[in-house]
Structure 1
């Protein structure tokens, strides 16, 4: 079987329909529970940073300062969404807007020292939550779950990217 399924194929014919029903249900339950807890962590920090803010701050920390367009592209969302989501982070001092070093007219978004401190606080709380939720798992189970969840997220991202590329062509 090819690694990339033919999108015209009825996916219910691939494998056990009951297993696929269980998988889609468990993903839906996970999404709901993750949103309910925001997978925020433990203690006071738990619900104090929304998903969009966490992902934006995390991306700026991992990849360094960048413009809105580059940040949007790296996250797979449009520039207007990034602009809207970054505004409160700038207002609260977690992100700084600076001039691009090579083109003073361009704006670069950068994690502020306060933003890095806050991000580390949230990461620590989330790590603690993950440790608590998986405390009775063997290290190999944690690794396998992480690998499979990463693989699942990459597949979702690839599918979204493919849909974005084909959408404009379909409308022409």
Structure 2
């Protein structure tokens, strides 16, 4: 084979392939993964809505999501929430207002730049969230009842791997 033929053959081998008959198995598997993730998202949304209701019936699920973010990343700004959660700035402002009125979030000026407002959770929110987390664990335990510790650890590992983009692993 001439060097030109070898180079052309290498270029063909490196070119992206279109799905073909041999790929139907993998495409079917991927369709199954997508379906199961969709089901998991619906179940997660239902679980979060129930947790928000248990947390405080007057706190909508979106505000509950915002509060969970604040509690995990405090102190943080509304802009941090907008970026991290891909929620419209006005929606974040409305949810923060709901949480402030309910006494779950406090707003304080940033020590370094007093123009920047920092969000933090209140003690009331911390106590209530701890109670709800215990209740949530019971809900999740029902999903994995009968699993061994090894199966649970393997599942957690797969979820972590899935949630971490390939370039960040």
TM-score (norm 1): 0.68
> What corresponds to 2:149 in structure 1?
139
Q: Counterpart of 1:97 in 2: which secondary structure?
A: strand
Structure 2 counterpart of 1:45, from 22, 47, 54: 54
Structure 1 counterpart of 2:128, from 97, 102, 118: 118
Structure 1 CA distance for aligned equivalents of residues 140 and 64 of structure 2:
16
> What corresponds to 1:152 in structure 2?
162
The structure with more helix, counted as a fraction of residues: 2
Contact 1:40–1:126 under 8 Å retained in 2: no
* Shift, 1:129, TM fit: 1.4
* Shift, 1:93, TM fit: 1.0
Q: In structure 2, do the counterparts of structure 1 residues 10 and 111 end up closer, same or farther at CA, with 3 Å as the change threshold?
A: farther
TM-score (norm 2): 0.69
| Partner deviation per Cα, 1:95-133 (whole Å, 9 max, x = no partner) | 111222222222111101111112212211111212222
Structure 1 counterpart of 2:31, from 21, 30, 33: 21
Between structure 1 and structure 2, the one with the greater Rg is 2
Aligned length: 148
The gaps in structure 2 that reach 5 residues or longer are 1-15
> What corresponds to 1:66 in structure 2?
76
Return the structure number with greater relative CO, CA threshold 8 A, min gap 6. Answer: 1
Contact 2:55–2:128 under 8 Å retained in 1: no
Q: Counterpart of 1:105 in 2: which secondary structure?
A: coil
CA RMSD across the alignment? 3.2
Deviation above 4 Å: which 4+ runs of structure 1?
Answer: 8-15, 46-51
**Does residue 79 in structure 1 map to residue 95 in structure 2?**
no
> What corresponds to 1:5 in structure 2?
none
> What corresponds to 1:129 in structure 2?
139
* Shift, 1:152, TM fit: 2.3
* Shift, 1:70, TM fit: 2.5
| Partner deviation per Cα, 1:55-105 (whole Å, 9 max, x = no partner) | 322332222212211333344545334223322111211111122222222
Q: Counterpart of 1:16 in 2: which secondary structure?
A: helix
Contact 2:55–2:129 under 8 Å retained in 1: no
